[in-house]
A and B are shown apart, each in its own frame.
Chain A
């Protein structure tokens, strides 16, 4: 869907640069208190540069126009870099939004009025609850729900799913997305959202920023940064009278430099872009998060409720074995299996037919067309076909067969048990009530899913698998992939019950779902990820919708949420440990002329003092653009336990921040030294 976003991002880069200058608008700048202090300091530095007479007695050893001009310029660039990081992230978001907006063009809709007549209406004039008529070739004007008829729809522009989707009334496949195209069929649909509040609109709003409030977590971090800045303002401003006590005048330029360097400007500057980029990353995964909070909550999840089908196993079961009952002719059994499934369009049926065909079963077209298909119903729990000669071929689970009066011999029973133990689903094949053989259906476990689940385990996240399968099958699959817990023969009600149970134990739990009967559980879960292929009700109840309808994505979303928080924490730590090196550069520079013994703190050996101050300021400024990629991409997240992660990030961003500042400042000082000799 967003394949063209990269190209658009290039287009928006120009806007980003323009936008970075609008950040100098004081009304906008004041929203980021840490950077607003930089803003005011820049103005102060400019005043000193051009009107030094106002600052008589506060200029240390004398006024030097170029020195103050340099300070002013570096501060200006610090601010600009901060603005740039935000507008770059914004541009990325805009590009994403733009590519989405292309799908939202105004179309004409055929509105069905109360009297049954059809009038042409603009899609923007449709309201929730209106009924519209759709036919081949139409663009679906707005999110709606099929109430009558059936359609085949191309959703690739929204979801990237190239296979045409069947949408029909009843069941779980009734929701139509605005912007998709009807390939065939005719239907009436009820509008499920007012224009402006469709999923598309929600997504556009989120990436465009209308919906981009700070989350609680970001507010808490901002509070910490503001408090730290306020403390440093006190620390620095009290140095003015204190230096007078020592009968020297400290240079106010150095004080401004010290303040700006020590304040957490790095994280302060990058905080907005971390937030924006975090939301953008979710969109890149083709997931609509209804709020930024949902993304952060995802990072906190500690229990995932995984549907076996679709998440752990590839959607459908596949027939892998056909076993003849003792005393039955194998070819005849294969033939029965073939006929039982010839008119069965379910994936299980198709795979049974394929397997039988591959093993040599054949049937005339005429024979097949004479068959009368028997569909699976909840009452009989078996399917099959009736031949014109009265032969009844059935397949179904052992207990369904038993209930229907079929006697199952011990040997078959043992086979059934063995198959169940392996996690396969055995189906009994009968002909006129007599057992012919067994069809073994097997779940195909998604490649790599066991590794993902063990990753989750490392992250401290518990997984619960739910399935409608019987206990043995469920147990075998659970064991194979390593989930912590499973619930066999589960109904949607069970999902709800598990969620309530886990929340009662104060866990944060997520689930995926697509059916209308999943909706209550989706709403109850802390993170409910609805499949886009699911019903409108399910999507309404969830707080995230996956456009690719891939339930495995829940795992990625957890990682995205964590990554967002890690980026914030890592850059905060980096910002703070940088300060240690900055102190060692600036304190001797400020004081050692007056108190020579403090020259001993000049462990970086930077001379003269002005070079030390300027190089520290420059380091402080350029570290912002250097870290923009980290804020946009997010800090790397490894699925390990918390202490390992803390150790790694402490080394990388804490110790790394300390060392890189020492090295960076020294390098810049050496470069500057070339000009100062």
Chain B
């Protein structure tokens, strides 16, 4: 790595921290319902929506009511999404005349976008109409991001509140879209248009090439999707090649903008949490821990991408320029690697590289990010995961200093603990069990790669689905196992999304009804750097404990030479 590479990393990290800090303050303001000059513009719109839905935004909900509204909204969106894809042939804005999606692929795709995963088993430009791209993909990108964010907000309120209530779901959901996601996306989409991303309802262009051939150049309403794709840590591309395609990612300016955008809300929400909990120092420490986890993952990947490949050692190949496999030459190795790690650690999943061409060690690092989930994780759900880690770390470290563990003044009851340990149980089970089942059922046998790479592909796919990341390793599908994987992934994505969220609501409910203890000097452990060190070590050791054997058999063995 040279000076420029370090410069690129430092620039991105600083930009992400600055943007997320201010966005964190902005989000705190909107969720606390503080007055602002924006009320004049958004107020009437929001009130209109509330009246249309027939709800009272000031009515506080307890965790069960909040959860019920949350699940109901998801169900309605899921059904609408399924119908849009199923009937896209007869719906408007279909200049390329694409047909309807097969039901099982339709179901998997709906699940994928509903759960903020954006795992794509279709090729956007070939299989989706413009209406589906906008009315389904882009629409669900907004709602799934907003639904993730409200989970985090509800959990924060549970931690802070003493009233037993978590706020009003419909208000939170509405303002997340109107005040946060829409305004930023609109502005950013225009910037993307300026940078060269297409935004049109006209059909594909047939180009006649110099050598007398013809080429179909697909286009469509891309820019409007691009902004929310990153802002909401969705990651699903308009085109099959996602962000490595120039129409989605025309150059360095767009690439940097995308990377800063995708990290803004996940990191920003941690600042928001610290501010809303009236303990900004605690928030900053958590940002430091998540950033440290991310940078550790990045360091491993950068090491892997810049050191010579051992398998090529004996061959007359100059490896001094680094490992360019799977990367766009428009971007540097550092930028490409940063994109991979950021896209997996934020659960966005739209990197500008071909993941399966990256060094196995980078792949291991990427998977580790998806296994940790909270570093910083997807919008809302990342903070949710991080807070569960915090609760568990507070429990053990609290014991180590001789106090019944408490979290920001609230005692960690057996109820909170029971839910928290159930929460962390879900993730490893829905990765490892489907992997084992795929092997036992024989469906994994159709993956056309050597065992080690097949296994890595299989593990990556379920890790990505379980973490609702959506980045794709590829190579998985063969005609004999397509339906199996469609169904299995849909199930994993659903459990991976809603299982932890339902439990998180229950935790929020218990905490909201817990009377806080007075903060004393010895209780302020979560504000001390030593707690941050403990949390960092705890997250790494816990994840390693669960995933080291499979990582060793898959990517690590690949890196060490099969």
Interface residues of A (CB under 8 A from B): 216-217, 219-221, 223-224, 226-228, 230-232, 234-247, 262, 296-297, 299-300, 302, 459-462, 505-508, 561-566, 568-570, 572-573, 576-577, 579-580, 583, 587, 591, 595, 597-598, 600-601, 637, 641-643, 645-647, 649-650, 653-654
Contact = CB atoms under 8 A, between A and B. Distances in A.
Contact of A227 (B424, B534, B557): B424
A353 B537 CA distance: 68
A239 B525 contact: no
B561 interface: yes
21 contacts: A216-B404, A223-B417, A228-B421, A231-B429, A235-B545, A237-B436, A245-B439, A245-B445, A247-B451, A505-B518, A508-B517, A566-B399, A570-B400, A572-B399, A579-B545, A587-B549, A595-B562, A601-B552, A642-B523, A642-B528, A646-B397
B546 A583 contact: no
A231 B430 CA distance: 11
B466 to A, nearest CB: 13
Contacts of B542: 576
B560 A597 contact: yes
A234 B402 CA distance: 32
Contacts, number: 216
A231 B429 CA distance: 7
A562 B402 contact: yes
A227 B428 CA distance: 11
Given A220-B412, A245-B451, A642 B541 contact: no
A600 B440 CA distance: 29
Given A461-B522, A565-B402, A587-B552, 20 more contacts: A217-B404, A220-B417, A226-B421, A231-B545, A234-B428, A238-B435, A297-B404, A459-B522, A460-B521, A505-B518, A506-B409, A562-B403, A569-B397, A569-B398, A573-B396, A579-B541, A580-B544, A591-B553, A595-B562, A642-B523
Nearest to B430: A234
A590 to B, nearest CB: 8
B524 A572 contact: no
A642 B403 contact: yes
Contact of A300 (B403, B525, B553): B403
Nearest to A654: B537
Given A300-B404, A583-B548, A650-B534, A506 B516 contact: yes
Contact of B557 (A221, A232, A245, A595): A595
A314 to B, nearest CB: 30
A606 B488 CA distance: 40
B550 interface: yes
A454 to B, nearest CB: 13
B530 A643 contact: yes
A18 B503 CA distance: 45
Interface string B447-465: 0000110110000000000
Given A235-B428, A245-B439, A646-B528, A598 B401 contact: no
Contacts of A297: 404
Interface string B371-409: 000000000000000000000100111111111110001
Contacts of B320: none
A650 B549 contact: no
Nearest to A217: B404
A646 B525 contact: yes
Contacts of B418: 220, 223
A637 B522 CA distance: 14
A242 B403 contact: no
**Residue among B413, B517, B552 with the highest chain A CB neighbour number at 10 A:** B552
Contacts of A302: 517-518, 520, 522-523
A238 B436 contact: yes
Q: Which of A507, A577, A645 has the most CB of B within 10 A?
A: A645
B425 interface: yes
A227 B417 CA distance: 10
B116 to A, nearest CB: 24
A87 B432 CA distance: 39
A650 B400 CA distance: 8
Nearest to B432: A238
A618 B548 CA distance: 22
Q: Counting chain A CB atoms within 10 Å of each CB, which of B516, B518, B541 scores highest?
A: B518
A566 B399 CA distance: 5
Nearest to B558: A597
B556 interface: yes
A58 to B, nearest CB: 14
Interface of B: 392, 395-405, 409, 412-414, 417-418, 421-422, 424-425, 428-429, 432-433, 435-436, 439-440, 444-445, 451-452, 454-455, 515-518, 520-525, 528-531, 533-534, 537, 541-542, 544-550, 552-553, 556-557, 560-562
B433 to A, nearest CB: 7
A646 B400 contact: yes
B556 A598 contact: yes
A573 B428 contact: no
A502 to B, nearest CB: 8
A571 B332 CA distance: 47
Contact of A637 (B399, B402, B530): B402
Nearest to A297: B404
Given A506-B516, A583-B544, A242 B553 contact: yes
Contacts of B401: 562, 566, 569, 642, 645-646, 649
A576 B541 contact: yes
A450 to B, nearest CB: 19
Contacts of A642: 401, 403, 521-525, 528
Contacts of A646: 397, 400-401, 525, 528, 530-531, 534
A243 B549 CA distance: 11
Given A506-B518, A576-B541, A597-B560, A224 B395 contact: yes
A649 to B, nearest CB: 4
Contacts of A654: 534, 537
For A221, A240, A262, A643, the residue with the greatest tally of chain B CB atoms inside 10 Å of its CB is: A643
B435 to A, nearest CB: 7
Contacts of A234: 428-429, 432-433
B183 to A, nearest CB: 40
Contact of A299 (B403, B451, B524, B557): B403
A245 B404 CA distance: 46
A241 B557 contact: no
A650 B404 CA distance: 17
A508 B519 CA distance: 11
A569 B396 contact: yes
Nearest to B447: A245
A292 to B, nearest CB: 13
Contacts of B454: 245
A566 B400 contact: yes
Nearest to B429: A234
Contacts of A217: 399, 404-405
Contacts of A247: 451
B172 to A, nearest CB: 28
Contact of B530 (A296, A562, A601, A647): A647
Contacts of B429: 231, 234
B440 A241 contact: yes
B425 A643 contact: no
B434 to A, nearest CB: 10
B402 A216 contact: no
Contact of B417 (A224, A296, A459, A641): A224
B40 to A, nearest CB: 41
Contacts of A577: 541
Contact of A223 (B414, B435, B533, B541): B414
Contacts of A300: 403-404
B395 A220 contact: yes
B552 A299 contact: no
A267 B115 CA distance: 38
Nearest to B406: A300
Nearest to B413: A216
Contacts of B534: 646, 650, 654
A561 B403 CA distance: 8
B413 A220 contact: yes
